[in-house]
Chain A
Amino acid sequence: MDPVALAGAAAVRRAIPTGRLEELVFETAAAALADAGLSRADLDAVVLGASDELDGRSISSMLTAAPAGALLKDEAKVPDSGLHALALGVMKVLSGSAATVMVISWGAPSECSREAIQRTALEPFVERPVGTIDGVAFGLTAAAYLERHGRALADLDRRADVRHARVGGDRGGDGWIAYPLRRRHVAPVVDGAAAVVLVSGRPPAGAAPAGWIRGLGWASDVHAMAERTPGAWPALEVAAARALGRAGIAIADVAGYEVDDRTVIHEALALEGLGAAAPGTAFDALDGELGSRVNRHSGDGFAGIPVHCTGLWRLATVCAAWRDRPGGGPLLVHDSVGLGGQSHAVVVAEAVRE
């Protein structure tokens, strides 16, 4: 596919809210425009990536469209995730319907009870009574992985050790969320938002892009975890193949990975699904050379994961890093959504050549 420019970006992460949700949205959108050297008047379209349930407002875009810059503009909301919203934004540019698109996503878990919401996402007849919400689903996913690949709890503990040392401080403790996942295997969540401004291949004069989107892909698996593949994420493999294919590169060309690392098992499954490590070997690969190329720009999620916008937040953080230091090879940016990683989105992004 034709590359699409990342004209500007902004990423916000905070432990407690400083204002109302709409103000967080405005602040992030305004910062992305400023980074792009553009004004709201330059926008043709806005795509939101937000969830009503997390926002605590039905049709939350009613309140957040204008703060996102969409007043009297083309606006659409893709609830799935920030990277899914990005996919629609990219397609609007490629279809020729919009030359400049704001893509913005957020999550404010400080305002909602996520576990109650997660329960309502379960199929109501056979799943909800059993209650396989996120924490439980993480445990199931981890157990299936260890079983299928003959790995051990010690692998999870060891990876958590490394990651806690990286961010300084070991929080959570050994208690089980759901065996074999301990509280310390899981990243804390924080409020956050992210926005990128996309422009078609000929950016407006004066706007130096932070980087380029060279390819993207996304795919979903079926809802029932029992009907999926234990210990693997085939939907991610599909998404990654499409992203790499559209970028015209192979996995060997990839310089780094910015992946969903909300638990130590997500990180491993993500790297294997992307093709960065062979099935069952991610923990070993992370001990080696690969470890230095994972989440190097966006940082370890153990420092705090902004929910729902996580992948877009990682991409925006990478753009900020590229402003300081352009160059380096293509990165794969990944996010997963849905219980046990039901849906995945992958972006191939690259800095402007120095």
Chain B
Amino acid sequence: MSDATTATEALVVPEDWHIHYEYSAGPVVGHFLRGLAEGRIEGRRCPGCQMVWMPPRGYCERCFVPTDTWVPVGPEGALEAFTIVGQKFENLPDPPYVIAFCRLDGADTALVNFLRMPLDDVAAAARRLRPGTRVRAVFEDRRAARITDFHYELV
């Protein structure tokens, strides 16, 4: 890194990438996402510890055995953690908006999603979002078998 390079502008080589992927959802995630399209949220239970996992997965990470049962969860549940995003991040929504981890009734773990509520006063909104606050999963009118087929609202 010699001083000589500071006298002239460093050479820059531009390039853009486009790399295509096709992620296999697998039967478990596939079932879950198709359920969302039909207005249904289900968790997956482990036969060992009996925990109902959200998001659903084909195996229990603790017992290390395949999960075996679909369990309907929600539509209501409890807020467990949140944040209110204040910056515009590339390819993500315009701020402010809330993302929240909510544990739907019947599930043992929380699932993240957008939470819609008035946000004209961010600090006041943060004070309303105490852990334990009841929430409801609300489905969109038009669904596409994606996690964004529903969002949370305060009950």
Contacts and interface: CB of A to CB of B under 8 A. Distances in A.
Q: Do chains A and B touch in the complex (CB under 8 A)?
A: yes
Interface of A: 17-23, 26, 29-30, 33, 39-40, 53, 56, 66-67, 69, 71, 108, 110-113, 116-117, 120, 124-125, 128
Contacts of A120: 17, 19
B78 to A, nearest CB: 24
Contacts of B19: 53, 112-113, 116-117, 120
Given A56-B21, A111-B22, A120-B19, A23 B13 contact: no
A110 to B, nearest CB: 8
Contacts of B21: 56, 111-113
Given A21-B23, A116-B17, 4 more contacts: A19-B26, A56-B21, A112-B22, A113-B20
Contacts, number: 68
A20 B24 contact: yes
A69 B17 CA distance: 34
B24 A124 contact: no
Contact of A66 (B13, B22, B58, B61): B61
Interface residues of B, number: 22
B142 interface: no
Contacts of A18: 26
Given A111-B23, A111-B24, A124 B13 contact: yes
B64 A40 contact: yes
Contacts of B23: 20-21, 56, 111
B64 A23 contact: no
Given A33-B64, A39-B64, A124-B15, A20 B25 contact: yes
Contacts of B15: 124, 128
Given A39-B64, A69-B64, A19 B20 contact: no
A170 to B, nearest CB: 29
A30 B58 contact: no
B61 A23 contact: no
Given A23-B58, A120-B17, A30 B64 contact: yes
B59 A116 contact: no
Given A39-B64, A124-B13, A124-B15, A26 B24 contact: no
Interface in B13-54: 13, 15, 17-29
B103 interface: no
Central interface residue in A53, A67, A128, by most chain B CB within 10 Å? A67
Nearest to A53: B19
Contacts of B20: 112-113, 116
Given A56-B23, A111-B24, A22 B62 contact: no
A112 B18 CA distance: 12
A19 B23 CA distance: 10
